[in-house]
Structure 1
Amino acid sequence: MTVTRLTVPLSPDLLGALHGLNEDHATELSSLTPEKLEGLIGSAFFAATVDAGDGLVIACDQDTPYDSPNFLWFRKRYPRFVYVDRVAVSSSRRGEGLARKLYDAVFAAARKAGHEIIVCEVNYDPPNPASDAFHEKLGFAEVGRAVLENGKGVRYLRLDLRGLGAATPSLS
């Protein structure tokens, strides 16, 4: 299992694989065109894949030029943070720990940059019990809720890195 930090431009094959992964999880993540996905990866604080497209994480920090209402919710409340915008794992690789590896890579990049707070949101409407359980296991705690313009209900979560061990995965 190899975690690789993403840089743009992406190869057409990798962009196609990552776009397909994002679209497979569009209910939880939101749909993006391939061009918008690549643009988000390019502007992100940190983006990585597992095994060339079987997993994806995109994280922004407070300085990322991003207009997501969820990101903006955190920006209003925290002066410094890393926001996990999206994480997805292909259905054929679920249960192998890929999401945890991707989060560990985000944690390592955040620590290296001096960040102490990781934030994200998880849908409660429609419900996402697998993501709820995953984030709870990692130690995330709810810090707010919102109903978005599209009707989705989200829970805003926060994790303080100072309370975690210092395991740092290797990135290729």
Structure 2
Amino acid sequence: MAPDATPPDARPAPIEPRHLAGLRAINNADHDKLSWLCEGDLEALIAGAAYARQSGDGAAMMIAYREGADYVSPNYRWFAERHERFVYVDRVVVAQGARGQGHGRVFYEDLAALARAAGVPVIGCEINMLPPNPVSIAFHQTLGFVACGRAVLEPREKHVAYYRLDL
């Protein structure tokens, strides 16, 4: 979909404080695929992020970090150990009723445009393999992401695959 054909409520915008509780609830509804967010956690993620956007109506969000961020995620560190310049997508969250409407694709297009403008050559993310997330794998592959590594994360023995998009 061309940017001018994007529905107005899907265009990425800074995360609004009035949507924090709702976005946290959407995140926590998929806690098996994402990390659980307690009160204040989302605000902390946003504070350190290079990219923190929501859909205009608050039905979706994306949070991403650049190299050099003060972020302790083992998945972020995996990319930091392998790339001098990168953007790591920590989470893409879309409300159940808003899925399939292009929110994720619009976020990635927006993030990629900003990364290219800044000379960042790679966007990275991780996708669950255990528990499996085949929808996310298919979505990311459609965007051009390729698998580039795997890890088992403790203490939950969560298996992830790392994916990257070369810009």
Q: Same fold (TM over 0.5)?
A: yes
CA RMSD of aligned residues (A): 1.3
Unaligned 5+ runs, structure 2: 1-8
Q: What does 1:1-172 align with in structure 2 at a 5 Å threshold?
A: 1-6=9-14, 10-11=16-17, 13-149=18-154, 150-161=156-167
Larger deviation: 54-63 or 19-28? 19-28
Deviations 1:116-152 (A, max 9, x none): 1000000001100100100111111111100000211
Q: Distance in 1 between matches of 2:73 and 2:30?
A: 17
Question: 1:95: how far off?
Answer: 1.1
Deviations 1:65-103 (A, max 9, x none): 100010011111111100000001111011111110111
Structure 2: which amino acid aligns with 1:71?
Y
Structure 2: which amino acid aligns with 1:152?
K
What SS does the aligned partner of 2:119 have?
Answer: coil
Question: 1:33: how far off?
Answer: 1.6
Q: Distance in 2 between matches of 1:39 and 1:116?
A: 26
TM-score normalised according to structure 2 size = 0.90
What SS does the aligned partner of 1:154 have?
Answer: strand
Aligned to 1:170: none
What SS does the aligned partner of 1:142 have?
Answer: strand
Deviations 1:13-47 (A, max 9, x none): 31111111111121111112231111111110101
Residues 12 and 106, structure 2, Cα contact 8 Å, conserved in 1: no
What SS does the aligned partner of 2:85 have?
Answer: coil
Equivalent pairs: percent with the same residue?
Answer: 44
What SS does the aligned partner of 2:81 have?
Answer: helix
Q: Distance in 1 between matches of 2:64 and 2:147?
A: 18
Residues 145 and 165, structure 2, Cα contact 8 Å, conserved in 1: yes
What SS does the aligned partner of 2:32 have?
Answer: helix
Q: Distance in 1 between matches of 2:13 and 2:70?
A: 20
Question: 1:153: how far off?
Answer: 0.2
What SS does the aligned partner of 1:29 have?
Answer: coil
What SS does the aligned partner of 1:143 have?
Answer: strand
Q: Distance in 2 between matches of 1:30 and 1:36?
A: 10
Residues 86 and 122, structure 2, Cα contact 8 Å, conserved in 1: yes
Q: Distance in 2 between matches of 1:34 and 1:46?
A: 20
